[in-house]
Amino acid sequence: MVVTLVGCINYALGLGYAVTFLLGGVWVAAAAQATWAGRGLTGRVVPPASAVAGGTAPFTVRVEGRGPGGTFLVRLGPGAEGMERVPAGGTAEVTVPLPTPTRGLLHLTRPAVAALDPLGLWAVWQPLPVPAPLPVAPLPEEGAPPPPPPAPGAGEEAERRGPGPDDFSGLRPYQPGDSPRQVSWRHAARTGSPVVRETDAPAGTLLALDWAQTASLPDPEARLSRLAAWVEEARRTGVPFRLTLPGRALPPGAGEAHAAAARAALAEVQPWPAPAAPAPRRPAPAPLPGAPLRFTLLSLAFALAPAALRQPVWLTGLEAALLSYAALRTRRPLPAPPSWALGLLAGLGFVVLNAVYGTLLGREAGTALLGLLVCLKAAETRTQRDARLLALLGVFVLLTHLFFGQGPLAAAHVALGLVGLLAALGRWNGPGPASGLAAVGQAARLSLQAAPLMAVLFVLFPRPDGPLWQLPVQAAQTGLADEITAGEYSSLAQSRDVAFRAEFGGPLPAPEERYWRGPVYERYDGLRWGQVRERFGSPTVEFYGPTLAYRLTLEPGNPPWIPVLDTPTTLPPGAFVTTAFQAVSFSVGGSRTRHAVQGRAARLGVREAPERLTLNLGLPSGESPQARALAASWAGLPAPERVEAALGWLRNGDFRYTLTPPTLPQRNRVDAFLFGSRAGFCEHYASSFAFLMRAAGVPARVVGGYLGGERNPDGGYLIVRQQDAHAWVEVWLEGRGWVRVDPTAQVAPGRVTAGLPTALARPEADTPPPPAALDRVALRVDAWQTRWNDWVAGYDGPRQRDLLGRVQAGVGGRPALLALGVAGVLLAALPLLLVARRRSPTLDPAARGLDDLARRLRLPRAPGETAAAYGERAIQKHPEQADTIRAAVGAYHRARYGGDGGALAELRAAVRQVRR
């Protein structure tokens, strides 16, 4: 989230902010769900009946969930974990094997159980009651010699009797480990408690196992291992035995319980052996389950899909092959690609992509390289950690598409892709991953819960005006070029891509006033018109007429100039006007930009630098002699009449306006056009007219820009497309300065009043035809797109300050605005906080009171543990609060079983007195 937020700030990705804040909301929603589940989670650790050195001890953890259910994680020690799903309000068990490398007592220091959220991002831990240390008996010796046979006694010793299999000697209470065959069911039915028949035998026939009998073995552990083998043999054959160890003697006995006591005694013989050295190598990871991995690969493929529209075909094929092979490995026993092969593919990818794009840091090259590396990671995925990392890398892949577009379709793709990748995370969160449909449902619910918080953060989070640093995010430029030749604008005229949109505070200007000024071309070499970089003196500007205010929204990829009407009087920060009256801003380019502009009509350059006027009279020597001769015939006329003579000659010269003029020669192009083809587009007429004016002694230059714009009735703004690109001429007249002249209007007046499509079909048209049904639908969609660009994709610092300024004025100042923002964040997070604070779904008020007591003591109840037993255990841990705990347990009993209505208040009061 931090990395994506930095990227959004640096590259002004408005939609990226929304995705980042949605991830933040999902993070908070997942924490709330984990907290709710964790508050009602209790458990109990059940140790195994026995354990031997060199094996494992399978501990069973019984977990009870009083919350919504889900996945829980049990941790009994480093690396000793188990995971299981518990139903809502139900119980479940998980077995966690702990290694027992050496003999001794196995202590569980901090057993705990954690509730996980549906995505596995959070773990809310609850401590588990610590069981008694588990004796780890020595491993019985393999092939041990038989135990010494029982030696018959003599005299008084022979007459003594002890436990044995021979004669009945009485009844005793049942003990765990006694054989069911020894239970006297008749007596048990009469008394109500199980009793066991005891038998005995002469003491001289007992098996006497003694530490001294193993003196021939030098190693104490070997001696204990032999004694353990003899104990197992006696247990198996049912022979009674006694065990004598250093410092301890086990009385004679028989049966499973006696054998367990003997094993425990062997485990506790000191000194204990030194801990075993850790294993030198990790075991090989278990194969990943196929269904979750295929789902993750499918989600990643969906995230990568838009890149196929802009990257080389070979790269798309390679990525598809890598993902397909990774998916095929989940169904067939195919080997994983070797590391050297993946490294070789990565190296070749670096080299080839650098050759194709010329760099590895640009927008196209960087995103293509990221996609290749992610697919290589998918091919070598072996563990669940790799699979979860793959899903998170997919989020970065999704965000890279926003460099190329942030429209509604891109938003829909990102939203669906994000839900799929979150669902892929959820499928790895559990021992038996849920189905794909269930995981998608979980991810969608989390996203909906996160939406309010995302919306508030999207509106209020501060938006910087500039990037944190500059990197070469290259974007292909469209629109007007730095220089023009014949045919330059006719190619643009065949594109309906939007160049910019213009919103006006008042009425729209008339069609004949919609000349959007762009680059000015003053240098002419006979073939090309180019811009001038020389410094000239500043010309004069004399404003007149009303102020026109409008806001421009330029699409990405435009050159660094702002198309303006008339002469700008106010420009956005960082923009300026050149001495050719061209508005320039270097913030235009790779991303959508908005500019607030004010302008007025003006007389430009009434006093102009002589060097500039001389430049605008220059013509290549020997170029187009017929045009020169025509212009020379007007040389005796005043300058304004020379302009009118040239316009009249075009108007009456049987010229034709077309997008497909014949090709002109490299030399004498103006003659070929004026006296030959007589068919061309705006740049043909502007170039030829400027040539005639210069040849006639009138300074002239070509101005590029846009003419017109389509009004969108749904939004009331103008849509100016690339097909509206236009070129006209400015001539300098004494006392009037630079005057706009459009020679194309003499041939096709409809180009000014009716737009390009109409002018091509009907050059004399006055108004454009009404839009067709499909065009109206397209305009409606464009209005939605514009609103989306304004409030989502293009929601930047100025837009935020404008919105918050209006809200601040409405609520009464900055403190009230700050309080409103804090309240908005809290209200957006309130549903998630309520989920986190929800009590367990225990309907009985007395049971809720006992749950509150356990929470305040930070001592969870074990599943099935009675209130009285819990109270005794709590008093042992907190003896200083014994009276309060007894009072609470007594009130619980009276409220739950005695029908005492007043006991509930006593229970709540006692719980409040418990110190945390």
- Is 8 annotated in the active site? no
The phi and psi torsions of 476 (rounded to 5 degrees) equal -65, 125
Candidate ranges 100-109, 355-364, 751-760, 895-904; pick with highest mean pLDDT: 100-109
More confident of the two residues 588 and 94: 94
Note the pLDDT tens digit of each residue in 244-256: 999 888 888 888 8
Q: DSSP per residue over 490-542, as a string?
A: HHHTT---EEEEEEESSSPPPGGG-EEEEEEE-EE-SS-EE---S--PPPPEE
Structural domain contains residue 813 = no
- Who's near 311: CB < 8 A, 6+ residues apart? 364, 367, 368, 371
Residue type, 869: A
Of 240-254, 271-285, 470-484, the range with the highest mean pLDDT is 240-254
Residue-wise pLDDT tens digits, 322-345: 999 999 988 888 888 888 999 999
DSSP-assigned letters across all residues of 535-585 = --PPPPEEEEEEEEEEEEEEPTT--SB--EESEEEE--TTEEE-TT--EEE
| Residue 668 falls in which region: left (phi positive, over 0), alpha (psi -120 to 50) or beta | left
pLDDT digits (tens, 9 = 90+) for 115-149: 998 888 899 998 898 888 999 999 999 988 988 77
Q: Is the pLDDT of residue 158 over 50?
A: no
pLDDT band at 815 (very low <50, low <70, confident <90, very high): confident
Nearest to 688 by CA among 725, 735, 727: 727
Rounded to an integer, the average pLDDT of 638-660 is 92
Q: Can you tell me the distance from the alpha carbon of 696 to that of 639, in angstroms, rounded to the nearest whole number?
A: 9
Residues of the chain above pLDDT 90, percent: 40
H or E segment and range at residue 721: strand 717-721
- Residue 262 and residue 298 in one domain: no
Q: What is the predicted pLDDT for the residue at 96?
A: 92
Name the domain count of the chain: 5
Torsion-angle region of 258 (φ positive above 0: left; ψ -120 to 50: alpha; else: beta): alpha
Verify that 623 and 727 share a domain, yes or no.
yes
- Specify the pairing of strand 241-245 against strand 207-210: parallel
775 has catalytic annotation:
no
249 and 299, same domain (yes or no):
no
Q: List 597's β-bridge partners, or say none.
A: 550
Among 131, 158, 166, CA closest to 254:
166
Contact 2, 781 (CB under 8 A): no
Regarding beta strands 104-106 and 91-100, do their DSSP bridges make them parallel or antiparallel, or are they unpaired?
Answer: unpaired
Mean pLDDT on 498-504: 92
Please, how many CA atoms are within 13 Å of residue 867, restricted to the half-sphere of its CB?
22
**Which of 178, 671, 742, 790 does the annotation list as catalytic?**
742
Under 8 Å CB-to-CB from 180, ≥6 apart: which residues? none
pLDDT at res. 903: 83
In this prediction, residues 219-229 reach a mean pLDDT of 92
- The count of residues in the chain is 916
- φ, ψ at 104 (rounded to 5°): 145, -155
pLDDT for 208 beyond 80: yes
* Alpha carbons 177 and 210: distance in angstroms, whole number: 24
Residue 2 counted as domain residue: no
pLDDT band at 447 (very low <50, low <70, confident <90, very high): very high
Predicted confidence (pLDDT) at residue 477 exceeds the cutoff of 50: no
* Mean pLDDT over the full length of the chain: 85
Residue of 200, 258, 671, 682 marked active site: 682
Cα torsion through 912, 913, 914, 916, rounded to 10: 70
Q: Which two tokens stand for residue 740?
A: 């706009």
Decide which of 213 and 915 is more confident. 213
The confidence band for 305, taking pLDDT boundaries of 50, 70 and 90, is very high
pLDDT of residue 801: 81
Q: How many CB atoms lie within 10 A of CB 142?
A: 7
Gyration radius of the chain over CA positions: 44
Are both 263 and 304 inside the same structural domain? no
- How confident is the model over 718-739, as a mean pLDDT? 94
With b for 16 or more beta-carbon neighbours within 10 A and e for fewer, the 493-516 pattern comes to beeeebbbbbbeeeebbebeebbb
Does the active-site annotation cover 726? Answer: yes
Q: What is the mean pLDDT of residues 14-43?
A: 88
pLDDT value of position 902: 76
Indicate if 54 and 101 belong to the same structural domain. yes
Inter-CA distances, 72 with 170, 429, 431, Å: 49, 10, 10
Q: Which of 484-493, 780-789, 814-823, 881-890 ranks highest by mean pLDDT? A: 881-890
Contact 408, 784 (CB under 8 A): yes
The phi, psi pair for 282, rounded to 5°, reads -75, 145
In this model, does residue 153 exceed pLDDT 50?
no
Extract the tokens encoding 681. 């587009």
- 635 and 742 in a single domain? The answer is yes
Range of the domain at 234: 161-267
Structure token digits, residue 818: 């700050």
Name beta bridge partners: 171. 197
pLDDT of residue 157: 42
782 falls within a domain? no
- The two beta strands, 656-657 and 679-680, are parallel
Which of 234, 267, 300 is the endpoint of a domain?
267
Q: What is the pLDDT of residue 164?
A: 54
Predicted local distance difference test score (pLDDT) of residue 551:
92
Exposed, middle or buried, 626 (CB in 10 Å: 0-12/13-18/19+)?
middle
- Say which of 684, 726, 782, 790 is annotated catalytic: 726
* Closest CA relative to residue 650, chosen from 512, 744, 755: 744
Per DSSP, 137 falls in state: B
Claim to verify: residue 119 and residue 206 sit in the same structural domain: no
230, 306: one domain: no
pLDDT at 476: 46
Is the pLDDT assigned to residue 474 strictly greater than 50?
no
Mean pLDDT comparison of 214-218, 248-252, 515-519, highest-scoring range: 515-519
Q: Specify the higher pLDDT residue, 724 or 840.
A: 724
Answer yes or no: is 311 within a domain: yes
CA distances from 661 to 657, 679, 783, 844 (A): 9, 5, 35, 89
Of 232-241, 282-291, 447-456, 738-747, minimum mean pLDDT range = 282-291
What is d(CA 184, CA 174) in angstroms, rounded to the nearest whole number?
10
**Beta strand 248-253 with 483-484: parallel, antiparallel or unpaired?**
unpaired
Would you say residue 816 lies in a domain?
no
Residues 255 and 387 in one domain: no
% of the chain beyond a pLDDT of 70: 87
Q: Give the pLDDT of residue 275.
A: 74
Model confidence at 278, pLDDT cuts 50, 70, 90, reads: low
How far apart are alpha carbons 147 and 229 in whole angstroms? Answer: 9
User: According to the model, what pLDDT value does residue 154 have?
Assistant: 37
Whether 185 maps to a domain, the answer reads yes
- Label residue 280 by pLDDT band (50, 70, 90): low
H/E stretch holding 872 reads: helix 867-877
Same domain, 746 and 850: no
Question: Residue 474 falls within a domain, yes or no?
Answer: no
- Spatial neighbors of 156 by CB under 8 A, at least 6 apart, are none
> What is the spatial distance between Cα 21 and Cα 324, in angstroms, rounded to a whole number?
33
CA distance 680 to 543: 35
- Min mean pLDDT across 64-68, 126-130, 763-767 is at 64-68
| Residues 291, 253 within the same domain | no
DSSP letter (8 states) at residue 550: E
CA-CA-CA-CA dihedral for 541, 543, 547, 552, to nearest 10: -20
127-136, 465-474, 479-488, 723-732: which has the minimum mean pLDDT? 465-474
For 677, which DSSP code?
I
Residue 790 domain-assigned? no
Q: What is the pTM of this model?
A: 0.73
Edge-to-edge strands of the sheet including 70-77?
80-86, 70-77, 112-116, 123-127
Q: Do the beta carbons of residue 720 and residue 531 sit within 8 Å? A: no
Rounded to the nearest 10 degrees, the angle between the axes of helix 290-304 and helix 363-379 is 170
Looking at 383, 414, 429, the residue that finishes a domain is: 429
CA dihedral 265, 268, 272, 277 (to 10 degrees): 90
Task: Report the alpha-carbon distance of residue 536 to residue 893 in Å, rounded.
Answer: 99
Cα 374 to Cα 5, 304, 392, 549: the distances in Å are 21, 10, 10, 49
Q: Say if residue 262 is in the same domain as residue 328.
A: no
pLDDT band at 905 (very low <50, low <70, confident <90, very high): confident
